[in-house]
Amino acid sequence: MSHPELPSLTDATIREYLAGSAVPVAVDVWAQWCPPCGPMARTLAELQPEFAGRLVIATLNADDNPGTARAHGIMSLPTLLIFQNGSVTQRLVGARPKSVLRQLLAGVLTPYANV
């Protein structure tokens, strides 16, 4: 489920958004009918302030944007795609607790820690 505190991407905007980002982007792919998608979006929104300026968390509705979902072979929701320099570097399928999501997102930043 989308969260008002997170940017919402579409098939039409995702490429430009990723190209314009100087930091990694985590895209939460969700659908309205998906029971675990709402809690996952809320958890990601809670984590966003911890990563502000270092990583962006955005959402994308798979039903409204089937091109992106198809292009990335998304078969289950929620799916979290981690983009670095415009390419998917990691994916996480299924809802996870906050501690797991925090660890995944922090791990994305590790290569940048000494830059």
Q: Is 94 a catalytic residue?
A: no
The string of DSSP codes covering 25-94 is: EEEEEE-TT-TTHHHHHHHHHHHHHHHTTT-EEEEEETTT-HHHHHHTT--SSSEEEEEETTEEEEEEES
For residue 114, being part of any structural domain is answered with no
Structural domain boundaries, residue 19: 8-107
For residue 1, being part of any structural domain is answered with no
Please identify which of the residues 37, 55, 74, 77 carries the catalytic annotation.
Answer: 37
Please identify which of the residues 1, 9, 25, 34 carries the catalytic annotation.
Answer: 34
Q: Is 37 a catalytic residue?
A: yes
For residue 70, being part of any structural domain is answered with yes
For residue 115, being part of any structural domain is answered with no
pLDDT in tens, 64-81: 999 999 999 999 999 999
pLDDT at 111 over 80: no
pLDDT at 108 over 80: yes
What is the DSSP code (8-state) at residue 13? T
CA distance 78 to 74: 9
